[in-house]
Amino acid sequence: MHARTAAPRIRPVRTVLAVLAMLAALLAAAVPTAAPAQAAVPDRWGFAFLDNPTPPPGYVPDPTRQWGSWTSPSTNPVKVDQVGLGAYTVHFPLIGGPGGIAHATAVNRTGTWCQITGWATVGSRQDVSVACYKPTGTPDNSPFTVLYTTSSGTPSPSGGGYGYLYSAVSGALISQYNSTGAANAVGHGSTGVWKAWLPGLGLSTNAGNVQVTVVDAVQGARCKVADWAPAATGQTFVVTCFDAANAPYDTQWTLSYSVQRALHGPVFPPKSFGHLWFNGSVPPLTDFNSSGATNTLTGSVPFTVTMPSVAVPPDTAQTTAYGPGPGWCGLALPWARSGSTVRLNPICFDPGGAPVAAPFLTVYTSAF
C-alpha cells in the first residue's frame, strides 16, 4: 500500500534535462522489452550502526542495529576497528566472498559525511572500510550506518524488483545485479556525471527507492542522485559526484534500487520496511510502508519521517541526497523506535555545510 504523506513546502527540484540529453548517446543501445519484476534473495548480507565514533579495538556496535545472513549474528557479532582519524574497518563475520555493493550514511548534525573506501574478503569475513570527512574535507570521527549485500543466480518469481551496480570511473561495471535477469549499464559523461540504466525494473512513473554512495580511498567525496527518469522499460538515474571543494569529481560509486522490498534485496522476510522520497512533494509510489500504514513527513532541518507498524529491531537505515548541485544529506540522529513506530531524521546540507531543507531519499528496514 502506498501512503499519503503530509510534506513541507519547498521549491521542487528541476530535472537535469541538459545532462540527460548530453548522455543519451552513451546508452543508445536497443532497450530490451521489460520483463516481469522478480525477487532477489541475497547470497550474503550484513548491516551495522557504529554508535561510538571513537571505538576501542574490536568494538561491538549497537546489537539492536546490526544483523546479517550468517548463522547466529547475536552470538557472532559485527565488530569495528578504528584505523585512523575518521577511518574505520567494519568486520562482517562469515560472509566473505566476491562481488556485491556497500552503502554508508553519516549520523550527525554537523555536516560530516561518510563514504565507503573499499571492501575485501579476509578469511571468512567481509571487511568494509568507511571514512568520514568534515565539510572542509578533513577527516572527522562520526557515527554511521553501513550495509553490504550481494546477489546472484537465477531470479525467483515474486512482486517488486531490485537491482544494484558498482561503477568504475569509466562507467564499466565492477559488479551488478538485476532481479529481472537483465544487464544494467552505466555511461560516463562530463567530469563527475554518469547515467545509470536498470532495465526491466520499476514503472513508468517514479516508484521505489534509490540509494547512492561514493567509493573512494583517495580523498573525501560525495555522490548523489541528480535526476530520475522512469519508464515502463526500466529506470534511468543521473548520478553526480563532487569533491570536498564542491567541484565535479570522477570517482567510483554504488547504486541500489528497490521497489516494494527491503534495501538489501529480499522481499519477505523482512516484512517490516519502508522508504520515502521528498522532492518538494512526495511522489505517491515512492512512499511505501510494508505494513500498509501511512507514513508522514514533517519538519525540515532536520526532517522527521514517521513509519508506523514497522519498527522491529535489529534494523538499519540509509539516506541519499537528490537534485542538482553539490549538497548532501545524512541522518541527524539514530532512528528512534516507539512501540511499532520508527522515526527517521534525514538532514541535508548546502555546499558550505550549513543545514538546509533539501530533497532526499531515505529507507528503513528490519532484518525480519
The per-type count for the chain, helices as H runs and strands as E runs, is 1, 29
Residue 252 to residue 218: CA distance in whole angstroms: 11
- How far apart are alpha carbons 188 and 18 in whole angstroms? 14
pLDDT (tens, 9 = 90+) of the chain, 368 residues, equals 444 444 444 444 343 334 434 444 444 433 333 333 344 579 999 999 999 999 999 999 999 999 999 988 889 999 999 999 999 999 999 999 999 999 999 999 999 999 999 999 999 999 999 999 999 999 999 999 999 999 997 665 566 899 999 999 999 999 999 999 999 999 999 999 999 999 999 999 999 999 999 999 999 999 999 999 999 999 999 999 999 999 999 999 999 999 989 999 987 789 999 999 999 999 999 999 999 999 999 999 999 999 999 999 999 999 999 999 999 999 999 999 999 999 999 999 999 999 999 999 999 999 99
In 10 A of CB 342, how many CB atoms? 25
CA–CA distance, 164 with 63 (Å, rounded to integer): 27
Pairwise CA distance, residues 364 & 317, whole Å = 4
Q: What is the pLDDT of residue 24?
A: 42
| Whole-angstrom distance, CA of residue 285 vs CA of residue 315 | 23
d(CA 49, CA 120): 19
Residues 109 and 117: their CA atoms lie apart, in Å, by: 22
| 8 A C-beta contact, residue 166 and residue 101 | yes
Stated length of the chain: 368
Tell me the three cell numbers of residue 341: 513506530
Residue 242 CB contacts under 8 Å (≥ 6 apart), including other chains = 192, 221, 222, 223, 248, 249, 326
- Which residue in 155, 339, 152, 363 sits closest to 270, CA to CA? 363
Q: What does each C-alpha distance from 296 to 105, 154, 360 come to in angstroms?
A: 22, 37, 14
- Cα separation, 314 vs 285, in Å, equals 26
Q: What is the pLDDT of residue 268?
A: 75
What does the alpha-carbon distance between residue 321 and residue 233 come to, in Å, rounded to a whole number? 25
**Cα–Cα distance measured from residue 216 to residue 131, given in angstroms and rounded to the nearest whole number:** 9
pLDDT of res. 154: 67
Q: Where along the chain do its domains lie?
A: 273-366
What's the CA gap between 319 and 12, in Å, rounded?
19
